[in-house]
Homo-oligomer: A and B are copies of this chain.
Amino acid sequence: MKDQDAKTLSNTQRAVRDLRQMILSGELAAGTDHLESELAETLGMSRTPIREAALMLESKGLLEMRPRKGVRILPVSSDDMREIYDILTELESLAAQRAAEAGYCEDELAVLAGSIAKMDQAIEAEDLEAWAEADELFHQELVRLGGNKRVEAIVAMMSDQVRRARATTLFIRPLPVKSNEDHRVVFQAISEGRPDAARERHREHRLQAQAMLCGILEKHRLNSL
Contacts and interface: CB of A to CB of B under 8 A. Distances in A.
A94 interface: yes
Interface string A34-70: 0000000000000010011001100111000000000
A84 interface: yes
Interface in A100-115: none
Interface in A59-105: 59-61, 83-84, 86-87, 90-91, 93-94, 98
Interface string A141-166: 00000001111001000100000000
Nearest to A57: B59
Contacts of A149: 83
Interface of A is mostly: helix
A150 B61 contact: yes
B59 A60 contact: yes
B84 A150 contact: yes
B55 A86 contact: no
Contact of A52 (B52, B84, B98, B148): B52
A12 to B, nearest CB: 8
Given A59-B59, A87-B148, A90-B93, 11 more contacts: A51-B52, A52-B52, A55-B56, A59-B60, A83-B148, A83-B149, A84-B150, A86-B94, A86-B151, A87-B154, A150-B158
